[in-house]
Amino acid sequence: MTSALGNIKVVDLSRILAGPWASQMLADMGAEVIKVERPKKGDDTRFWGPPFIKEANEEQPPQAAYFHCVNRNKQSIAIDITQQQGQQVIKDLIAQADVLIENYKVGGLTKYGLDYESVKAINPRLVYCSITGFGQSGPSAHKAGYDAMIQGEGGLMSLTGEPDGMPMKVGVALVDVMTGLYSCNAILAALMARHQTNAGQHIDIALLDVQVATLANQGMNYLATGKNPQRLGNGHPNIVPYQTFATQDGSIILAIGNDSQFVKFCQVAHCGELAQNALFATNAQRVINRDKLIPIIANKLASYSTLWWIEQLESVAVPCGPVNTLEQVFDHPQIKHREMVRQVSNQQGELINTIASPINLSATPLQYNSASPDLGQHSHQVLSSLLKYSEDNIKKLFSNGTVS
């Protein structure tokens, strides 16, 4: 089967989530991704459980569900890069690679001779993606960055939560995920540019930059007014009504995006007079007068069940939906139809559930070939088949602990 990136080789020196998210996207598109991990311990997220897909044993660290969300379709080689021989193995991999992804602190790979300036002499066509908390330059460049702290420092937490409550982080590591998405986009752009320049380049991606860039309408709201947006719970700063409401038996998301939808909602809710009221007739007026409108709508929605509202509102094309648990999400008929859960096999032939990519390419479909690898599962294979090392050399690397 033809894949979009079948001719691309990636050396993945990244750990945790942002970098591995980007490299998994490339792997799904068919790139050969070699994940470089620490001997014995591997990626930190192998330990981030419970729950665990596989428990630890005498030879292997555990495999947390967290690790499996972001490392499918990859090969694992365990290399001690503090040793000169380990550094040479990485350089030999780089010589054949198209892409390198790393998320060490700024300058952290220089002492190993694996920084961009050093390795571009080995492979001038290499696309080298550096992911850090604060970027390669600036007064904060030396600081480590983690998703939750960046959600705070980058403003997202100030926008999230109830008006009178504490600032809240999002329920998943959203900054890391978005950073992975931006990184993958940048890598693909650099690979396209290479067709024109015949040279690689250095990509500088910072979690803080990503967080600020994805403030989206709220960031522009501030720039337009000079006023800090306030937390609105599940409300929307620019559209009303666009939030969750309690029903007779649960909750519903009402997502009314224009005035005609509001008229239809009012007809279903038997409050047509609201749509004629000058205070609520346009979205701009509804935003200004949200404190008057929302209690009226809340009272109406509490009168019937979630299912009743969804059936009635969908029949007149008013956007709405339930607030589902993950059990309900994965049992959703549309999610099942879209095959958003796939099964991949691990080294032992066991089938592991994985959440599919949302990308659907008609001519070069994404691949789901293998579950996240055991630590060092492909070390010998990479050294012998890809790098063409002799068996004697491979034995030396394993015996002295450079590779495991």
Mind telling me the catalytic residues? 176
Max Cα–Cα distance, the chain, nearest Å: 85
Q: Which residues, 6+ apart, have CB-to-CB distance to 363 below 8 Å?
A: 2
Q: Which two tokens stand for residue 263?
A: 């008229």
Exposure string of 369-396, with b = 16+ CB inside 10 Å and e = fewer, is ebbbbbbbbbbbebbeebeebeeeebee
Q: What is the Cα 339 distance to its own chain's centre?
A: 19
Q: Collapse the DSSP code of 210 into the 3-class scheme (helix H, G, I; strand E, B; otherwise coil) and give the result.
A: helix
Residue 216 exposure: Cα atoms within 13 Å on the Cβ side = 7
φ/ψ of residue 159, rounded to 5: -100, -10
Residue 229 exposure: Cα atoms within 13 Å on the Cβ side = 26
d(CA 317, CA 91): 58
